[in-house]
Amino acid sequence: MTYLGHLLAHLRKDLRLEWRARDSVNGMLFFALLVVVVFALAFDPTAYPTIARQISGGLLWVGLLFASMTALNQSWSRELRNGVLDAHRLAAAPASAFFAGKALANFLFVTAVEVVLAPVFAVLYNLHPLGRTSVLLVILPLGTWALVGNGTFFAALSLRTRNRELLLPLVLLPISAPALLAMIQATTAVLTGESEPGLWINLLIAYDIVFTTLCVLLFDFVLRED
């Protein structure tokens, strides 16, 4: 079996599990909706359209970040049942294919949430973007991969520790800070139309390349550590 074969096998398995249970996507979607509603309680977005444009990029990403964090831990704790993780550790398949398959699956789940959430968000916050909205089609996948790639890695890492739910945000948030900054700035630039998002998109691309490489290289240490 080639590397790609292993990767696709892992991806298929995760997609099939999710298709049968639909736990992560439903949970994330409802969670993100709740975050959007709670933020709307904090200020009235329809009464202040300029402020809404300025801050809703940040709100959208914060909602997605929190929502994806609830699903990331689940995606690994699935593997703990019946000693599946130990079987993976003994398997001859490369550890990084295991990581990449799961990261891709999580990426697809969070993207599905975004596809539903983004229009709802625009309606609830009465958003009229002033920049080119088509650029969001580049920013959203890049930002999602930055969150989910590192998130899947650190969820696997915190799986091996005592306080696994607590540890994931503690490690993920500081390391994702530059990516969060870039995706929020890029989204805000598109929504307000006041600046060009190009620089931030480049930063996101660089961040994704650097950290995906690190994750793939170092995942073996995390999986096989005892």
Partner 1 sequence: MQTSSSTPSKNTQLFAGLWLLATLAVLAVGYRQAIFVAPAEATMGDVFRIFFYHVPNASLALVPPYINLLGSIGYLYWRGKNPDRAAKSDALAIAAAEITLMLTTIGLVTGMLWARPIWGIWWTFDERLTTYLLLWLLYVSYILLRRLSSSGQAYTLAAVVSIFAAVDVPITFMSIRWWRTQHPGPVLTSGKVDHSMLPAVFWNLAGWAMFSLLTLSFRYLLERRRQRIAVAQAEAFLTDDPAVFAPAAGVPLRGY
Give me the residues that bind partner 1 (CB under 8 A), please: 150, 157, 160-163, 166-167, 170-171, 173-175, 177-178, 181-182, 185, 199, 203, 206-207, 210-211, 214, 218, 221-222, 225-226
Nearest distance from C-beta of residue 58 to partner 1, angstroms: 13
| Closer of 152 and 185 to partner 1 (Cβ) | 185
As a dihedral over the C-alpha atoms of residue 155, residue 72, residue 104, residue 55, rounded to 10 degrees, the angle is: -110
Q: Is residue 151 a contact partner of residue 171, using CB atoms and an 8 Å limit?
A: no
- H helix or E strand, kind and range, residue 124: helix 95-124
| Closer of 24 and 185 to partner 1 (Cβ) | 185
| Closer of 40 and 218 to partner 1 (Cβ) | 218
Nearest distance from C-beta of residue 154 to partner 1, angstroms: 8
Distance CA 186, CA 198 (A): 8
Nearest distance from C-beta of residue 173 to partner 1, angstroms: 8
Q: Residue 194 gets which letter from DSSP?
A: S
| Closer of 34 and 214 to partner 1 (Cβ) | 214
- H helix or E strand, kind and range, residue 42: helix 23-42
